[in-house]
Amino acid sequence: MKKIIIIILLMLPVSAICQTKLIWDFKSGTKPVREKTLKASEVVRFEIKNINTFLYKIEVNVEGKSFFQENSAGLLADIITQLRGGDFVGLFKAFAESPAGMSVMEIREAKNKEQIIKTLLINLKENIVNLDSVIARFQNRDKLFCFEGFDDTKLSEYTDDFSLNLKEPTRQQLDKDKTTALKYLSEIDKTIKKLNRYDLSGQTELSETLTEIKGKLTATDYREDIEALYKKQLVLSLDKFKFISDEYELIGDETIAKLYVKPIDKSDEEECKGTKTDSVTVKFPVVKKFRVTFSTGFFISNLTDKRYAFKDVTAENSDLHYDTVTYKRVVDEKNDKVSIGITALTHFTYKLDKFNEIGIHIGAGAPIQENFKINYLAGFTYFFGYKQRIGVNFGVAGGFIDVLSNTVDFNRKYPPGDEVSVTNVKRFVFDRIQCSITFNIGDFFK
> Which of 197, 215, 238 lies at the terminal end of a domain, its last residue?
238
**DSSP 8-state assignment for residue 162:** T
Same domain, 255 and 163: no
Same domain, 265 and 390: no
Residue 421 lies in a domain: yes
d(CA 354, CA 35): 12
Q: Which domain holds residue 416?
A: 290-445
pLDDT at 144: 42
> Which of 264, 287, 310 lies at the terminal end of a domain, its last residue?
287
pLDDT in tens, 144-179: 443 433 444 555 555 544 444 444 445 667 788 888
Residue 10 lies in a domain: no
Average pLDDT of the chain, as a whole number: 73
Same domain, 117 and 84: yes
Residue 376 lies in a domain: yes
Angle between helices 104-139 and 77-84 (to 10 degrees): 140
Same domain, 163 and 266: no
Same domain, 270 and 339: no
d(CA 164, CA 149): 16
Same domain, 233 and 247: no
d(CA 191, CA 91): 17
Burial of 371 (0-12, 13-18, 19+ CB in 10 A): exposed
pLDDT in tens, 384-420: 987 788 999 999 999 998 877 776 776 777 777 677 7
Confidence of residue 10 (pLDDT cuts 50, 70, 90): very low
pLDDT in tens, 50-88: 776 766 788 888 875 665 555 444 556 566 665 654 566
Same domain, 279 and 224: no
Residue 33 lies in a domain: yes
By the 8 A CB rule, do 362 and 381 touch?
A: no
By the 8 A CB rule, do 330 and 424 touch?
A: no
Residue 9 lies in a domain: no
Same domain, 432 and 326: yes
Residue 66 lies in a domain: yes
pLDDT above 50 (res 16): no
Same domain, 192 and 258: no
Q: Torsions phi, psi of 37, nearest 5?
A: -85, 130
By the 8 A CB rule, do 438 and 363 touch?
A: no
Same domain, 104 and 185: yes
- CATH code: domain of residue 62: 2.60.40.10
> Which of 287, 304, 324 lies at the terminal end of a domain, its last residue?
287
Residue 4 lies in a domain: no
Q: How many domains does the chain have?
A: 3
Residue 5 lies in a domain: no
Closest C-alpha among 71, 185, 44 to residue 124:
185
Q: Torsions phi, psi of 242, nearest 5?
A: -155, 160
Same domain, 252 and 321: no
Same domain, 45 and 184: no
pLDDT in tens, 242-271: 788 887 777 666 778 888 888 766 444 444
